[in-house]
Chain A
Amino acid sequence: MEKRLKVDHLSISFDTPQGEVEAVRDVSFSLSSGEVLALVGESGCGKSVLCRGIMKLLPASAKMKSGSIYVNGVDITKFREREMQKMRGRVFSMVFQDPLTVLNPTLTVGAQIAEAVKIKTPGLSRDEIQKRVSELLELVGIDRSLERMKYYPHQFSGGMRQRSVMAIALAGNPSILFADEPTTALDVMIQAQILDLLRRIQKTLGTATVFVSHDLGAVARVADRVAVMYAGKIVEIGTAEELFYDPKHPYTIGLLRSLPSYSKGCGTLSAIPGMPPPLLHPPKGDAFACRNEYALAIDYEEEPPMFRVTETHYAATWRLDARAKKRYGGQIKKGDENEEGRIT
């Protein structure tokens, strides 16, 4: 399969008065056409910064420190604003977290979609633009589109606004779509509708999608592959099946274990103890070590590399090292988990 997006050892930092905040640290992944990659992690672990960093939508205080980004085989690492402008909307676009604030309140929804249409194909006549806008609205499931394109965002419900944002994102027929927590600001019923819509559109248009979320349920619903981020790093990446049924990194295990359905019948919900480390001065060694109940001595000393589990499944934990196996009698298996907490 063709690689739509390839990110190689990317690091992004913010200059703040207190010092340098390392928001994204040495992240590598790739995305094929027609694939949905989910980025999962706690708030502030760098998911959104990673997406916006790739589209170069970050404020001026953000710096790309190292690494490279390839889009459709082209190295865009050194691209300036002018070149990025040509790519945005056409090659990649983004659906944002909060549909209440990302639409301009003083322009009609139709006008805002029309802008994106005009960017993609300049020189369309008024009627053609209107036809395309109407098509896009129908595509994202807004009926009576000819009438509704004349409405202002405040006349739309939250779900309809998010659908409109998706229509804007899809207007340029992008080959890569970043969905930055598209369902977080919506209620549960609408969340499911938007997720199904995202999946359907992705299937029909074949758009490669990066789906950012902290909702594992949503991820299970849409993702082909999952990357788990912690403290600015990808700690585990694999197919959805591998991640959900055979997690290797203790953080992934902890995340799955904190799902309410996991604690059914236990009386208390299980949670990962502690807080994520500050990214201003990330700790030495594995950033997760101090919250990790299986932490090894080496976790506090040296950062673990990515260990290969299968062809598609990688995890950054010293527990996968050959020496660890010897001393602790192997990795955490599903069986072990059950003994520890699930069955009570």
Chain B
Amino acid sequence: MKRYDFLVYFGKKAMLFFLSIFLLSVFVFYISRLAPGDPLLSYYGERAERLGPQEREWAEKRLGLNESVTVQYVRWLKNALRGDFGISYKYKMEVTEVIKGRIGNTLILGGSGFLLIFGLALLTGILCAWREDGILDRILCKVGTVVSCIPEFWLSLVLILIFSVNLRWLPSSGAGAAGAADDFCGRIRHLILPLTVIVAEHLWYYAYLIRNRLLEEMRADYVLLAKSKGLNKRRILFAHCLRNAVPSYISLMAVSVPHILGGTYIVETVFSYPGLGTLSYESARYKDYNLLMLLCILSGALVIFCSIAAKAINERMDPRTGNRNIAAGAEVQRR
């Protein structure tokens, strides 16, 4: 019975996931084709401008761009379902191969950025809530408001100017020194600036959120009972308030993945970091349709997966929601 319930639950979520991906692919496909721009430019480069009308027609036919968008989409979908996502116009190789070469870099940057934001925001939030209205709390809140208003690209440029151009401490672009991509220290050095920008931009919003959430909890009635039974502030904050605040924080963080991912993409572009962000930017700019499709679907899949996961996490952490406990409650009532 329980196993069956789980399968139904899982099946529903999977259906939702694939339906969303399908819709996303339709939208992206149509919008990218309707947007102005010349895909031949990315395939033939400079030469595209010198192509005669006949050559153009031939080239478009070769790339399958001469038919209506719907026909193109159906063909793309058929191929995609077999695992063939086509070739990148710019790189002249399988898009999966192009992405394979870059995805690791993005995962390192985005993943470590996400974990840092997650952890630091929690710490900062708890610290601020603990010292509510203290000097530290006020300073952190104000600094956070200002810093999170600075645009990412501007902050990146300023940091590059200071640390790369003037001080020459850190590299300004790339993911590793040329010819030494596996050098660990080199990678770290290349990560510092982009990571700083990502964390500095996103940290405050979440820190402020967890702070306010905690303060709200600290004013809840159950804190009065906890106090009246003689618990100290630390125990109340960590065992009671945090327990109530964390589920919503975790689900929020799961929803925030696209937000942070978007930030990563921008930062990647500014720092010419060879990841999916720069790749997406290029593919959208040069109408590299097949590459753009797969990138959008990958990013979209991550976003949708995270929001579904957020809900599932929430259900597990808060005993009031979720099937397990509703069943238990019904049992109580039956008795």
A residues apposed to B, CB below 8 Å: 52, 55, 57, 81, 85-90, 93-94, 96, 98, 101-107, 112, 115-116, 119-120, 151-152, 154-155, 165, 168-169, 171-172
Is B224's beta carbon under 8 Å from chain A?
yes
Select B229's contact among A52, A105, A171, beta carbons within 8 Å.
A171
What would be 22 A-B contacts, judged by CB atoms less than 8 Å apart?
A: A57-B224, A57-B228, A86-B230, A87-B230, A88-B229, A96-B224, A96-B225, A101-B221, A102-B222, A102-B225, A103-B225, A104-B222, A104-B225, A105-B222, A112-B225, A115-B231, A119-B229, A119-B231, A120-B230, A151-B332, A155-B328, A155-B329
Find residues 113-171 in chain B having any chain A CB closer than 8 Å to their own CB: none
B residues apposed to A, CB below 8 Å: 220-222, 224-233, 235, 239-240, 243-244, 247, 317-320, 325, 328-329, 332
Q: A150 CB to closest chain B CB, in angstroms?
A: 9
In whole angstroms, what is the CA distance A115 to B235 when docked? 10
In whole angstroms, what is the CA distance A335 to B25 when docked? 89
Q: Which residues of A contact B239 (CB under 8 A)?
A: 107, 115
In whole angstroms, what is the CA distance A151 to B325 when docked? 10
- Contact, CB under 8 Å: A88 / B221: no
Other A-B pairs, 6, CB within 8 Å; known A88-B229, A93-B230, A120-B230: A96-B225, A103-B222, A105-B320, A106-B244, A151-B328, A168-B229
- Contact, CB under 8 Å: A55 / B228: yes
Closest to A59 in B: B219
The 10 closest A-B pairs by CB, nearest first: A89-B230, A101-B221, A116-B229, A88-B230, A102-B225, A94-B228, A89-B229, A104-B222, A119-B230, A152-B319
Q: A96-B224, A101-B222 are in contact. Are A172 and B319 (CB under 8 A)?
A: no
Q: A102-B221, A105-B244 are in contact. Are A169 and B319 (CB under 8 A)?
A: no
Q: B217 CB to closest chain A CB, in angstroms?
A: 9
- Among B220, B222, B228, B247: residue with most chain A CB under 10 A: B228
A interface SS class: helix
- Contact, CB under 8 Å: B230 / A85: yes
Q: Which residues of B contact A168 (CB under 8 A)?
A: 225, 229
B interface SS class: helix
Closest to A98 in B: B221
- Contact, CB under 8 Å: B325 / A106: no
- Contact, CB under 8 Å: B318 / A106: yes
In whole angstroms, what is the CA distance A52 to B329 when docked? 34
- Contact, CB under 8 Å: B224 / A102: yes
Closest to A51 in B: B228
Q: B259 CB to closest chain A CB, in angstroms?
A: 27
- Contact, CB under 8 Å: B320 / A152: yes
In whole angstroms, what is the CA distance A93 to B247 when docked? 30
Select A169's contact among B222, B229, B317, B320, beta carbons within 8 Å.
B229
Q: Which residues of B contact A106 (CB under 8 A)?
A: 243-244, 247, 317-319
Q: Which residues of B contact A98 (CB under 8 A)?
A: 221
Q: B57 CB to closest chain A CB, in angstroms?
A: 66
In whole angstroms, what is the CA distance A98 to B332 when docked? 22
Q: Which residues of B contact A57 (CB under 8 A)?
A: 224, 227-228
Q: A37 CB to closest chain B CB, in angstroms?
A: 18
In whole angstroms, what is the CA distance A98 to B319 when docked? 20
